[in-house]
Amino acid sequence: MTGNALIQIAVYVFALLLLAKPLGSYMARIYEGKFGAATRLLTPIENLIYRVSGVDPAQGMRWTQYALAMLAFNLLGLLAVYALQRLQLLLPLNPQGLPAVTPDSAFNTAISFATNTNWQGYSGEATMSYLTQMLGLTVQNFVSAASGMAVLVALIRGFNQKNAATLGNFWVDMTRSTLYILLPLSFILALVLVGQGVVQTFKPYQTVPLVESYTYDQAKLGDDGQPLKDAHGDPVTEKQTVTEQTIAVGPAASQVAIKQLGTNGGGFFNVNSAHPLENPTPLSNFLELLSILLIPAALCYTFGVMVGDTRQGWAILSAMTIVLVAAILITLSAEQSGNPLLAELGVDQINSPLQAGGNMEGKETRFGITNSSLWSVATTAASNGSVNAMHDSFTPIGGLVPMVMMQLGEVIFGGVGSGLYGMIVFAMVAVFVAGLMIGRTPEYLGKKIEAYEMKMAAIVILIPPLIVLVGTAVAVIAAAGKASVFNPGAHGFSEILYAFSSAGNNNGSAFGGLSANVPFYNAMLGIAMFFSRYWLAIPVLAIAGSFAAKKTVPVGVGTLPTHTPLFVVLLIGTVLLVGALTFVPALALGPVIDHLHMLGLH
């Protein structure tokens, strides 16, 4: 690791923690209905939305009503995205005349964007019209993030309320999350990104002359479409000269801003934030990177404010940050060390003023090892999934870390809202385990944790591993699953495991290398994304409803303090232990074997 790398990581983490408090307290004020002068400007729009949609903002909802409202809203969004993709050829803003998306891909993408996963089996610039990107995918980027924030706010209210039957109003929480938090932040970020050179236009793709033409040999095809061969069996080729290039453009900046802020991650272009028109400069890279974790970090502070004890929020944020920094350092170290097999061949992998050194395969030279490693961990710690380097080309340990970050359940920052509610469930399990070990009453933030809450917590914790491991097992057995693997052996297994870890934890990043835009993977990963989103949100709301109905227990000598360094360690231990116990066997078959091969151990 270089000094420069450590400084960049320190600046990133410092900026993140610095912004967590002001944004977190702003969000708390929004959810508590305490509007300032600036936010009051948007109140007429909020009220108009309620009037038009017939919502009574004062009406509280039971947890079941809250959950059903969330499901109904998400169903409509999912159907809208599916329809937009299937009908895009008949709709406006399709200057390239892109055809309808295939049904299996449309199914996968609709679930992917409604669930805040943003797994992309398709290539954006070759598949989606501008209308589908804007009205389908970008809108879902906003509302799927707002859905996660709404569920979190409902859970926090569960802690706050005593003997109450309701958790607030889903429509109000959704509207406020979008209108007062996501939209203003995205608007500002989109403008800055446009200033940095991220493209934002409705013009069709641009064909431009190349500064320097080039010639290459292309295989000649026969009438049957197969390559022609000469008498020696060698392919017959002809010279082709390329003088121009088509550059894909479109309304990217507005989508990129919310893709980062809403922990969505679905790129406008196929190579996501490695694309020069999606992430053109070091500053755009830093801002997009910061945006990945900004709201999840700030929500920890919001949580602290809303439960009346900011130390609780800082404790959770500390646990997340410690795991994040450790993961960044491991990845960075692995990538900077490079590949010993290449060193044996005499390749110079030492960092110097002339080169980055280490493993630069699959990385943008503009970003280098540090920013690629930092991004890979941040994007998988959060359920973002955008990439600025190809994780498939990382060293085995460098690729293992992003996989583990997802397999921990997307609770190290995680998705906006969903990451924190997942972490709160882990905090409940930590309290419960501590209670069992030392005989203290299991209670968290004044609420007794009883059998019902633990059953719901068990569903939350067990669903993702079940989906990931069963899905991976089916894929490595089924012929259709194996047909998409081009790297047989341990690395191919890693690619499948990564795909299901990504979908089954609503991350959305791709390892690469796996040909996933086929009916088998579109269906399997679509199912994984659906259930890992809603079957977690539902038991979390059930816990919220149960807590709201309970009385608040005053802090006593038997209460385990949940704001201390000891609890932070206990929380990290719980998260790591559950993740490790569940996934170590699968990881041993993929990246661990890959690593041993790299070291020459067969």
Partner 1 sequence: MDFAYLSLIFIFFIVSILLVLGCDVLGEKQ
Interacting residue ranges for partner 1, rule: CB under 8 A: 63-64, 67-68, 71, 75, 78-79, 82, 86, 103-104, 106-107, 110-111, 450-452, 455-456, 523, 527, 530-531, 534-535, 538-539, 542, 545-546
Report the alpha-carbon distance of residue 439 to residue 410 in Å, rounded: 30
Q: Is-contact 492 486, C-beta < 8 A? A: yes
CB of 91 to partner 1, least distance (A): 16
Helix (H, G, I), strand (E, B) or coil at 566: helix
Structural tokens at position 586: 């699968």
Of 19 and 87, nearer to partner 1 (C-beta) is: 87
CB of 546 to partner 1, least distance (A): 6
CB of 542 to partner 1, least distance (A): 4
Of 13 and 91, nearer to partner 1 (C-beta) is: 91
DSSP of 172-207: HHHHHIIIIIIHHHHHHHHHHHHHHT--B--SPPEE
Of 77 and 313, nearer to partner 1 (C-beta) is: 77
Report the alpha-carbon distance of residue 139 to residue 414 in Å, rounded: 20
C-alpha 164 chain-centroid distance: 34
CB of 110 to partner 1, least distance (A): 8
Structural tokens at position 455: 């059953």
Degrees to nearest 5, angle at CA 566 with 564 and 571: 95
Half-sphere exposure of 149 (CA within 13 A, CB side): 34
CB of 72 to partner 1, least distance (A): 8
**How distant, in Å, are the alpha carbons of 12, 31, 231, 255, 385 from that of 186?**
20, 19, 62, 9, 18
CB of 6 to partner 1, least distance (A): 46
CB of 73 to partner 1, least distance (A): 11
Structural tokens at position 328: 């960044």
Of 304 and 545, nearer to partner 1 (C-beta) is: 545
C-alpha 335 chain-centroid distance: 22
Q: What is the DSSP letter of 563?
A: S
CB of 456 to partner 1, least distance (A): 7
Report the alpha-carbon distance of residue 38 to residue 415 in Å, rounded: 27
CB of 450 to partner 1, least distance (A): 7
Of 348 and 450, nearer to partner 1 (C-beta) is: 450
Helix, strand, coil content of the chain in percent (nearest 5):
60, 5, 30
Of 106 and 305, nearer to partner 1 (C-beta) is: 106
CB of 70 to partner 1, least distance (A): 10
Q: Is-contact 415 383, C-beta < 8 A? A: yes
What are the φ/ψ torsions at residue 251 (nearest 5 degrees)? Answer: -80, 75
Q: Is-contact 244 207, C-beta < 8 A? A: yes
Of 75 and 588, nearer to partner 1 (C-beta) is: 75
Of 311 and 455, nearer to partner 1 (C-beta) is: 455
CB of 175 to partner 1, least distance (A): 22
**How distant, in Å, are the alpha carbons of 4, 88, 293, 443 from that of 29?**
38, 40, 20, 27
Report the alpha-carbon distance of residue 54 to residue 39 in Å, rounded: 22
Of 31 and 421, nearer to partner 1 (C-beta) is: 421
Report the alpha-carbon distance of residue 346 to residue 189 in Å, rounded: 45
Of 62 and 563, nearer to partner 1 (C-beta) is: 62
CB of 448 to partner 1, least distance (A): 12
Neighbours of 528 (CB within 10 A): 29
Q: Is-contact 419 411, C-beta < 8 A? A: yes
Of 71 and 192, nearer to partner 1 (C-beta) is: 71
Of 104 and 361, nearer to partner 1 (C-beta) is: 104
CB of 549 to partner 1, least distance (A): 9
Q: Is-contact 38 315, C-beta < 8 A? A: no
Q: Is-contact 61 69, C-beta < 8 A? A: yes
3-state secondary structure 407-467: HCCCCCCCCCCHHHHHHHHHHHHHHHHHHHHHCCCCEECCEECCHHHHHHHHHHHHHHHHH
CB of 511 to partner 1, least distance (A): 25
Helix (H, G, I), strand (E, B) or coil at 93: coil
CB of 452 to partner 1, least distance (A): 5
Of 81 and 445, nearer to partner 1 (C-beta) is: 81
Report the alpha-carbon distance of residue 89 to residue 189 in Å, rounded: 31
